[in-house]
Amino acid sequence: MRLTLASLIVAATLSISSMAAPLARDQKGKAFDHILQVWFENQDFDVVNGISSWTSLAKEGILLSNFNAITHPSEPNYVAAGGGSNFGIDNDDYYNIPANITTIYDLLEKKDLTWKVYQEDMPAGYTGYKIGQYVRKHNPAVIFDSVAQNPDRLAKIVPGSELDDDIKAGTLPNWMFYTPNMLNDAHDTDAKYAGNWLQGFYKSTLSNPTLLNNTLILLTFDENDTKKERNRVWSLLLGAIPEELKGTTDDTYYSHYSTLNTVEQNFDLGNLGRGDADKKENNIFDFLSKTLGYTNTPIPTEDIPLNNEAIPGLLTGKSFNQTHPNGGTPPAF
Ligand SMILES: *[C@@H]1O[C@H](CO)[C@@H](O)[C@H](O)[C@H]1NC(C)=O
Ligand SMILES: *[C@@H]1O[C@H](CO)[C@@H](O)[C@H](O)[C@H]1NC(C)=O
Ligand SMILES: *[C@@H]1O[C@H](CO)[C@@H](O)[C@H](O)[C@H]1NC(C)=O
Ligand SMILES: CC(=O)N[C@H]1CO[C@H](CO)[C@@H](O)[C@@H]1O
- Ligand 3 pocket list (CB less than 6 A): 93-94, 129, 320-321, 330
- Interval 271-325: pLDDT, tens: 999 999 999 999 999 999 999 999 999 999 999 999 999 999 999 999 999 999 9
* Percent over 70 (pLDDT), the chain: 91
Is the pLDDT at 183 greater than 50? The verdict is: yes
Q: What angle do CA 300, 73, 141 make, to 5 degrees?
A: 100
Query: Which residues lie below 8 Å from residue 121, measured CB to CB, with a gap of 6+?
Result: 131, 132, 133, 134, 159, 160, 181
* Of residues 90, 120, 92, 116, the one with CA closest to residue 104: 116
- Interval 92-140: pLDDT, tens: 999 999 999 999 999 999 999 999 999 999 999 999 999 999 999 999 9
Q: How far apart are CA 33 and CA 239, in angstroms?
A: 12
User: For the purposes of burial, counting CB atoms within 10 Å of the CB of 140, is it exposed (0-12), middle (13-18) or buried (19 or more)?
Assistant: buried
Please indicate whether residue 98, judged by its CB atom, sits closer than 6 Å to ligand 1: yes
The more confidently predicted of residues 6 and 62 is 62
Please indicate whether residue 19, judged by its CB atom, sits closer than 6 Å to ligand 2: no
User: For the purposes of burial, counting CB atoms within 10 Å of the CB of 243, is it exposed (0-12), middle (13-18) or buried (19 or more)?
Assistant: exposed
Q: How far apart are CA 277 and CA 265, in angstroms?
A: 11
Architecture of domain 34-323: 3-Layer(aba) Sandwich (3.40)
Which residue has the CA at smallest separation from atom 6 of ligand 4?
44
Residue spans per domain, the chain: 34-323
Ligand number nearest CA of 328 is 3
* 188 classed as catalytic: yes
Q: What is the mean pLDDT of the chain?
A: 92
Among candidate residues 188, 225, 250, 278, the one labeled active-site is: 188
Which residue has the CA at smallest separation from atom 2 of ligand 4?
232
Mutate to test the pocket of ligand 4, among 227, 232, 235, 299 (most ligand atoms within 8 A of CB): 232
